[in-house]
Amino acid sequence: MSSEVSGSKIIAKSLYDLGIRHVFGIVGIPVIEVAEACIAQGIKFVAFRNEQAATYAASAYGYLTGKPGVSLVVGGPGVVHALAGAENAKANGFPVMLLAGSAESHQRVKGAFQQLDQVSVAQPYTKFAAQPASVPDVPFLMEKAYRTAYFGRPGCTYLDLPADIIQGKISTNSDSALNTDPGPAPKTMGEPNRIEQAVRVLQSAKSPLLIVGKGAAYGKCEKEVRELHSRTKLPFLPTPMGKGVIPDDDDLNMSAARSAALKSADVILLLGARLNWILHYGEAPRFDPNVKIIQVDIHPEELGNNAGSPHLGIVGDIGLVCQQLLQNGLSSYSAPPILKSIAEKRGNNIQKAEKVESEPDTGKPIKYQQVYKTIRESLGGIVPKTQNIVYVSEGANTMDISRTSFSLNSPRNRLDAGTNATMGVGLGYAIAAKQAQPDDLVVAIEGDSAFGFSAVEIETAVRSKLPMVIYVMNNSGVYHGVDPSAYQEDATKPLPPTALQLDSKYHILAESFGAKGYLASTLDQVKTATLEAVKSNQVAVINVIIDSGKDKKLEFGWMASTKPKL
Ligand code: ADP
Ligand code: MG
């Protein structure tokens, strides 16, 4: 017998039949019915407070799971906010499917409610953007948008949902599945002659280096990359989100002598990282101008960019290509020992870092390194060895220093501001991580400025029952704070643009949402708060008042750049 089914039910069932069990977003007219239909269908709707954060969350869920996260938002301004997440997903190669409501088709050029040509607006940031013309088009387009987001280089796709489609009805006489899960993304192997060439080039290297990027983490290629590394003994460098693909604790991790390792390499095997600003374009002065870079990437257009050699690049899945390299000669290859100068530099830098972080608390304002050591050791004392910790970090110094302070021995355990240095991703990423991996401990280490972009999402985490520990590294400023006297009423100079309100009480803000709040300005307080926060198994915000760093100059080492050739 046929019955009337609503467009919103068709949308929800299309999502469910693709295998989707979580949707992140914010409701309003006309998508509230879609969210309700999703919940009725058995999909959890994680309701956010801002479309930016919701879409960041969906994209991190995509990065962690390897299948697109889904973000559902209202039209017009909702889409404009969500574009931040679309662009960030495109820049980072995270799979995400964005769905947004839009005005009824017949009102579209009349100045309708939240009117915007959303398909056109989404196009520059998406791999595919479309609008169904009728309810029966929905399952087909939903499947295409979902699959396109993660086949090939992952990114964002967009589907527009006009109100008349959401509210439309069709007559159907079947309960059968509207879609099927497209399964894992298909993988390709490398071209055989390029594999042989890569082996030859590596075998001839005097100072080879392996660089592991977040593509290797996203591709879940850790088993093959570790095997290649343990057979060849290649010294390696992870990019910030490539950390943990090979354990950070490995003796051949050159992170502590990063600059020297980059500069002295004559052959680089680059696994899933672009030669963008994070890797100084692969160019001099940070790299040897004659370095040969063997790039491995699933995206052919990436090969040869900047200092990459178009002749040496290999298109293929990192896991499969690593196996091919081993089968074609690399399994019997052993990298030459690392240069003495680099080994010394590495040893010295490790010692220096240990000294800085081990400074006792003498009553002076505490510093990042001391705080991070305290957090690391406190977590080490309370978190069972079998429990995975996902670290989320954003900010400037907060993020950079946390990268070196926290060793990662498993992949996909660091989510940070990423390719576009996007501030405001932290809370969304933390919520996504806890939703995707509920057994993990989620620890967010946030600069006070970065935290401010999405601080209200604490309420989302509390309401959604997603426990996590959030540290706000509070120096009352962007980059660094200013002298407290600058805040006095009679101060004559205006505050610098980097200043934030002195010692904001973020822990009290958190308490107002039902989270645990702690204030810590000594290492002992950081320790006690950490232990209590983890034990509470709730959302906890630890407001860590740190040295303002007011006497420091603003420096951006990574900006030291190459000059155009002409
Ligand atoms: P990082 O931030 O670590 O430098 P990037 O985001 O710049 O990394 O680069 C990641 C690269 O990895 C992208 O160019 C992407 O196409 C590629 N990639 C993603 N998954 C795979 C995979 N399974 N095999 C090969 N390359 C991959
Ligand atoms: Mg700050």
Q: Which atom of ligand 1 lies closest to the CA of 241?
A: 3
Radius of gyration (C-alpha) of the chain in whole angstroms: 25
Q: What is the DSSP string of 391-429?
A: EEEESSHHHHHHHHHS---STT-EEESTTTT-TT-HHHH
Q: What is the pLDDT of residues 193-210, one digit of tens each?
A: 999 999 999 999 999 999
CB 540 within 8 A of CB 469: yes
State in Å: Cα 297 to ligand 1 middle.
6
88 lines ligand 1 (CB under 6 A): no
Q: Which atom of ligand 1 lies closest to the CA of 318?
A: 24
241 lines ligand 1 (CB under 6 A): yes
Q: Which atom of ligand 1 lies closest to the CA of 219?
A: 23
State in Å: Cα 474 to ligand 2 middle.
6
| Alpha carbon 134 to chain centroid, angstroms | 36
pTM beyond 0.95: yes
Nearest CA to ligand 1 atom 27: 215
Residues 6+ apart with CB under 8 A from 172: 2, 3, 5
State in Å: Cα 318 to ligand 1 middle.
9
31 lines ligand 1 (CB under 6 A): no
CB 161 within 8 A of CB 168: no
pLDDT exceeds 60 at position 77: yes
pLDDT exceeds 80 at position 452: yes
d(CA 404, CA 398): 11
Q: How far, in Å, are 90, 180, 237, 286, 416 from residue 259 at the CA level?
A: 28, 48, 10, 7, 21
Nearest CA to ligand 1 atom 5: 273
pLDDT exceeds 80 at position 1: no
Q: What is the pLDDT of residues 291-334, one digit of tens each?
A: 999 999 999 999 999 999 999 999 999 999 999 999 999 999 99
Q: What is the pLDDT of residues 124-183, one digit of tens each?
A: 999 999 999 999 999 999 999 999 999 999 999 999 999 999 999 999 877 899 999 999
Q: What is the DSSP string of 523-534?
A: HHHHHHHHHHHH
404 lines ligand 1 (CB under 6 A): no
Closest-lying ligand to the alpha carbon of 214? 1
Both tokens of 179, joined, read: 């879609």
Helix (H) or strand (E) holding 445: strand 441-447
Q: How far, in Å, are 242, 300, 369, 494 from residue 502 at the CA level?
A: 35, 49, 21, 14
Task: Please report which confidence band the pLDDT of residue 52 belongs to, taking 50, 70 and 90 as the band edges.
Answer: very high
d(CA 426, CA 443): 10
d(CA 242, CA 258): 14
State in Å: Cα 446 to ligand 1 middle.
25
d(CA 317, CA 201): 20
Q: Point out the least confidently predicted range of 57-61, 360-364, 519-523, 543-547.
A: 360-364
State the CB neighbour count (10 A cutoff) for residue 248.
Answer: 19
pLDDT attached to residue 560: 56
Closest-lying ligand to the alpha carbon of 240? 1
Both tokens of 238, joined, read: 């992870």
Q: Which atom of ligand 1 lies closest to the CA of 92?
A: 6
Q: What is the pLDDT of residues 521-557, one digit of tens each?
A: 999 999 999 999 999 999 999 999 999 988 777 666 5
State in Å: Cα 376 to ligand 2 middle.
20
